Structure 1
Amino acid sequence: MRLTPVFLLSAIDAAHFPGETKTFGAPEIAFLGRSNVGKSSLINALLGSKQAHTSSTPGRTRAINFFSLHEGAGDKRKVRPSLIFADLPGYGYAKISKAISSEWPKFIEPYLAERETLALSICLVDTNIPPQENDSQLIHYLQEMGKPYLVVGTKSDRLSGNVLAKSLAALKKKHEVDDILIVSAKTEAGTGALWQRIHAVAAESR
């Protein structure tokens, strides 16, 4: 069943995170990655909508944007959400990296470290570029905090065969992970497998 997305709010401070009255404690799935890695495009592909704003200008997302996902549609939509998606600000783009970095301790780190309803952090890495150090830093941060995470390789439609295999091997080695799920927001390849992972984690957290 496809879930109906509803935009909840944008938060630039921990005090602005949605509370129990808005989410009913639904499991939250966070999407993280470098600017222009394709977070918003992937979210839209998963939801089958244009809820998350995409831009060719890196660094446009400066807040955590929350979306509630409901069974049914229109008047038949259930009030209680099944899931919450959180689209986090990108990092690593030179022109805005300092500004983003200064904001992380204020509300992004508390979200990742302290949010009780956060069931899974999806770390997006670009399969079309060499492995990036700041992606490794994020993954290692989640490992040290003992937080559930999944590494997802984006833009896989641009590579094929041995080239994609070599990129995947390099990403696994650099980020010290055994599992990377390859997806494409353009062709929706891998999105079904990603949904399976999301639903499995959400079921365990309930």
Structure 2
Amino acid sequence: MPLTPVFLLSATDVAHFPSDAKTYGAPEVAFLGRSNVGKSSLINSLLGSKQAHTSSTPGRTRAINFFALHEGAGDKMKQRPTLIFADLPGYGYAKISKSISAEWPKFIEPYLADRDALALCICLVDTNIPPQPNDTQLINYFKQTQRPFLVVGTKADRLSNNVLAKSVAALKREHGVDEVLTVSAKTDVGTKALWARLIAVTE
């Protein structure tokens, strides 16, 4: 089903999170990952538009950006969103000051821990590099808090099938998960399978 994305707001504080009155209680999907994992590019690929800002500068996204996805378009667009995308700031930056980094948990952790509408967390990992400890920490956090999550391996188009299979096996082993769904924002490989998982949270 085609969905029309509409930018809702950017939040840097718990008080800024969109209310149920604004989202109509639609389920939310959070996208998380290390700096330059390709998060914004994947979101844009899924939405079919450049809603999420992409940059070569690590750490450009410093707010949680919310996008409402509606059925239909124009006058026929349904008022209640089918789904909400939440684009969270990345982690593992080298070029962001520690003072700014220290501020992020104040609004990110409450979102992940307490947001009732949060239905699924998409943990993005780079298939082109070895498994990263801070990715493991995030995944372990979701296991401990029992938040539904899905590990998605990005930039799959850059690897041969054989190398990609070895990368996925290493990611599964190091992160302690049974599944890593591989995608490419550049070629759209895997995005249909990912969409199926996203739509499933609305059913």
TM-score class, shorter-chain normalisation, is: over 0.9
Write the letter of the residue equivalent to 1:39: K
Q: How does 1:39-188 map to 2 (within 5 A)?
A: 39-96=39-96, 98-99=98-99, 101-188=101-188
**CA 139–38 in structure 1, closer or farther in 2 if over 3 Å, else same:** same
**1:75-95 Cα distance to aligned partner (Å, 9 max, x none):** 111111110000000110222
Partner secondary structure for residue 151 of structure 2:
strand
Residues in 1 aligned to 2:4 and 2:97: alpha-carbon distance in whole angstroms: 33
TM-score w.r.t. structure 2 length? 0.97
Aligned length: 203
**CA 202–134 in structure 1, closer or farther in 2 if over 3 Å, else same:** same
8 Å CA contact retained: 1:89, 1:100? no
Residues in 1 aligned to 2:60 and 2:81: alpha-carbon distance in whole angstroms: 27
Partner secondary structure for residue 163 of structure 1:
helix
Partner secondary structure for residue 162 of structure 2:
helix
Write the letter of the residue equivalent to 1:56: S
Measure how far apart 1:111 and its partner are: 0.2
Residues in 2 aligned to 1:87 and 1:99: alpha-carbon distance in whole angstroms: 21
**CA 27–100 in structure 1, closer or farther in 2 if over 3 Å, else same:** farther
Indicate the percent of aligned positions where both proteins have the same amino acid: 77
Measure how far apart 1:105 and its partner are: 2.5
Measure how far apart 1:18 and its partner are: 0.1
Partner secondary structure for residue 202 of structure 1:
coil
TM-score w.r.t. structure 1 length? 0.96
Q: Structure 2: which 5+ residue stretches go unaligned? A: none
Tell me which moved more, 172-181 or 100-109.
100-109
